[in-house]
Amino acid sequence: MEEKPEKLISDEGIRVDGRRPDELRPVKMEVGVLDKSDGSAYVEFGGTKVIAAVFGPREAHPRHLALPDRAILNCRYHMTSFSVEERKPLGMTRREVELSKVIREALETVVFLEEFPRASIDVYIEVIQADGGTRTTGLTAASLALADAGIPMADLIAAVAVGKVEGQLVLDLCDVEDKYGEADMPVAIAPRFNSIVLLQLNGRLTPEEFKKGMELAQKGIAEIYRMQRETLKKKFSSARMEA
Ligand code: ADP
């Protein structure tokens, strides 16, 4: 585990990786990165690197799990064993099972599941490298992969964590800030409706800090949402040119 730096915020208000409090890490996004799945995306926030792949809608298996009036959405969030320095257990840990569930519940709010009775839509999130904010990066990637698969959705989901580090509210925590900061609050929003689809808080914030943190998250999410739409536009406009 990385050691705690002497200071997480400099006297000039600069963070361990050189960012200002309201700055995102360098972000990369790409869709259609895999051939075998129906949709896929690669998303990178600084040192956090995630691939999402989507299959479906396809016949639900085992068939007795199929629902007569809508599709089931399966979601698996998994960290590869080389994604962290420590020895990560090979199977699904409790943390991964919990994150799979909260990510699925967030995605279920936007996917039009009722359009595909008896079907399943399967979402796989693989964390290739972890440096804080893997659930938010995973959700951002999963919604891009669903869009890439052409699955009808009310909106994309854009997500980022905010937190408190040495008394300062900061956007998009890296691993060291997450570990040694006072609070970590992942937020996911469907921006078109401004509806919060995931909100967790680890640590403590005052009501004022919570409000300011939400504003900071919304600012970051607006930027992430713009990048997601650009990424999809780029892919589909180049597909049109090729046709
Ligand atoms: P998130 O990745 O969504 O911020 P957590 O707050 O649980 O979720 O984890 C914060 C960070 O801690 C992760 O991004 C990762 O860098 C690190 N981490 C999580 N699980 C492990 C693990 N099993 N071994 C080492 N580091 C881990």
Whether residue 11 lies inside any domain: the answer is no
Residue in 175, 182, 199, 202 to alter for ligand 1 test, most ligand atoms within 8 A of Cβ: 175
Burial of 194 (0-12, 13-18, 19+ CB in 10 A): exposed
Question: Does residue 18 belong to any structural domain of this protein?
Answer: no
Examine residue 217 and state whether it is found in any structural domain, yes or no.
yes
Position 219 scores a pLDDT of 98
Determine, yes or no, domain membership for 241: no
* Pocket of ligand 1 contains residue 177 by CB under 6 Å: no
Per-residue pLDDT tens, the chain, 243 aa: give them: 678 888 999 999 999 999 999 999 999 999 999 999 999 999 999 999 999 999 999 999 999 999 999 999 999 999 999 999 998 888 999 999 999 999 999 999 999 999 999 999 999 999 999 999 999 999 999 999 999 999 999 999 999 999 999 999 999 999 999 999 999 999 999 999 999 999 999 999 999 999 999 999 999 999 999 999 999 999 888 777 776
140 assigned to some structural domain: yes
Q: Would the CA dihedral through 109, 115, 117, 123 be positive or negative?
A: negative
Tokens for 142?
């999963």
CATH of the domain at 213: 3.30.230.70
* Phi, psi for residue 113 in degrees, rounded to 5: -65, -30
For residue 81, what are the domain limits?
27-235
Rounded distance between C-alpha atoms, residue 165 and residue 67, angstroms:
45
pLDDT value for 1: 61
User: If residue 98 lies in a helix (H) or strand (E), which one and from where to where?
Assistant: helix 94-108
Strand, coil or helix: 222: helix
Q: How far away, in angstroms, is 95 Cα from ligand 1 center? A: 9
Measure the CA–CA gap between 242 and 170, rounded to whole angstroms. Answer: 43
> What's the rounded Cα separation, in Å, for the pair 57 and 59?
7
Pocket test for ligand 1, best of 4, 82, 84 (most atoms within 8 A of CB): 84
Q: Is the CB of 92 under 6 A from ligand 1?
A: no
Q: Is residue 1 part of a domain?
A: no
Q: Is residue 94 part of a domain?
A: yes
Cα 18 to the center of its chain, rounded Å: 23
Q: Who's near 64: CB < 8 A, 6+ residues apart?
A: none
Number of domain units in the chain: 1
Residue 17 covered by a domain: no
